[in-house]
Amino acid sequence: MTRGAIGKRISSRHRNSLYSLFRSVRVALNRGKSPRYNAAYNNCAMFCQRGLVAAGVLDQNQANHSSVAPNGFYWQLQDLQSRKPCFNTDARDSFGMSREIPAANKKEFLMIKTIMIFLALVGLVVVGIWGAYWWSNTPPRRPSNVSSSAVFLPAGHLGLPAPKHGTWIECWFVESPMVNRCRLTEMDGARLYEGEFVASDGKSAVQNEDLRIQVEPTSNVNHWIRIEGFLSAPLVFLKNGTVLIPKDVYAEGASKLEYLRKEELNLGK
């Protein structure tokens, strides 16, 4: 719309107000200080509303109650312009008033709204699943009596999103009498088991720098051996291929390890 056309359609006071808005925007633009626009919470409808208020087509109350969605705002303007006069009207209209949006437009608006609600719900479900996964895979806080070299052996999930539960294990080399010892500690810091562990290959004790535990095979409940009563200890699988067996039940541990290796060979055939 040309400047002359604008002048014919609105009053002198509103025309001067609109021109003043144009000039202020242009001056700010020339100074490199154009009105701030953030795609997260601004859109073309908001700037259009500002100009229509300056031109007197809408009053501030109507602008405040207009739709922030460009399509919804267009429907409101379309509804408003069908009545005379088309500006500064006190009639009850779709800008927060009682007049309804035409049925066809209302149906489209409701469809868009339904789609947006559906997408929001899908987003919430995705975020919820991610949050539950993160929560269930977060190890518990390391007890103060557990060294930084210890690793956490998860005991599986309870069927509901919850922090992992399981046991802390740490192994170390004792120079005299040249043996390896391992300690199992519960999540609350209570000592579950501590004893001497022997390398399955019959070689000498493993040095500290090689005592790097593989979590997955060591935490497998099928790789644990009953010590006494309900007390069990694992076959400790190290990253260098060595397996440490609790000395207290070495015969049972060696037998289990041999069975596991045979099963692995059979699966590989």
pLDDT tens by residue, 162-204: 556 789 999 999 998 899 999 999 998 999 999 999 998 877 8
The residue among 117 and 90 whose pLDDT is bigger is 117
Q: Is-contact 173 205, C-beta < 8 A?
A: yes
pLDDT at 70 over 80: no
pLDDT at 255 over 80: yes
Average of pLDDT values for 135-155? 83
What 3-state class would DSSP assign to 227?
A: strand
Q: Is 83 left (phi over 0), alpha (psi -120 to 50) or beta?
A: beta
Predicted TM-score (pTM) of this structure? 0.51
Query: What pLDDT is stored for residue 80 in this prediction?
Result: 67
Average of pLDDT values for 74-92? 55
CA-based nearest residue to 10, from 58, 49, 44, 47: 58
3-state helix, strand and coil shares in percent for the chain, rounded to the nearest 5: 45, 15, 40
pLDDT at 138 over 50: yes
Query: What pLDDT is stored for residue 87 in this prediction?
Result: 42
Give the confidence band of 65 by pLDDT, cuts at 50, 70, 90. Answer: confident
Average of pLDDT values for 2-9? 48
Integer distance in angstroms from the first to the last C-alpha of the chain? 81
Query: Among the listed ranges 7-16, 24-33, 84-93, 145-154, which one has the minimum average pLDDT value?
Result: 84-93
Query: What pLDDT is stored for residue 174 in this prediction?
Result: 94
CA-based nearest residue to 80, from 102, 64, 60: 102
pLDDT at 213 over 50: yes
The residue among 2 and 140 whose pLDDT is bigger is 140
